[in-house]
Amino acid sequence: MYIEVDIMHKDISITDARNRLTALPEALEQEPGAIAVTRKGKPVLAILPWDLYESLTETLEILSDAELMKQLRASISDIERGRLTQWDKVKAELGL
């Protein structure tokens, strides 16, 4: 049985979340994002699709890695200054 979940406001009470837990994956497929689970009107949990969770944790890992961020900033600077290498040249150098 499908239970319709109104997530336009993207928040539900903890009681509603418990009662509708099995319907939440389908609701998030229809309208991607996260749902705030509230207790006494205040957010206490977030429910989000696994793909979004993995994406967020990977982003946090990258942002917390000083060396990766240094490389990213250097790459962005290279692009902004037009220091690019054509893909065909890269493939040829790699023997692809």
Domain ranges of the chain: 11-49, 51-94
Angle between helices 50-63 and 66-80 (to 10 degrees): 90
Average pLDDT of the chain to the nearest whole number: 87
pLDDT tops 90 at residue 72: yes
Tell which residue, 15, 18, 14, has the closest CA to residue 36: 14
Confidence of residue 3 (pLDDT cuts 50, 70, 90): very low
pLDDT tens across 37-68, in order? 999 999 999 999 999 999 999 999 999 999 99
pLDDT value at residue 6: 46
The continuous run of DSSP H or E covering 18 comes out as: helix 14-20
* Structural contact between residues 39 and 15, judged by C-beta atoms closer than 8 angstroms: no
Confidence of residue 90 (pLDDT cuts 50, 70, 90): very high
> Domain 11-49, what fold?
YefM-like fold (3.40.1620)
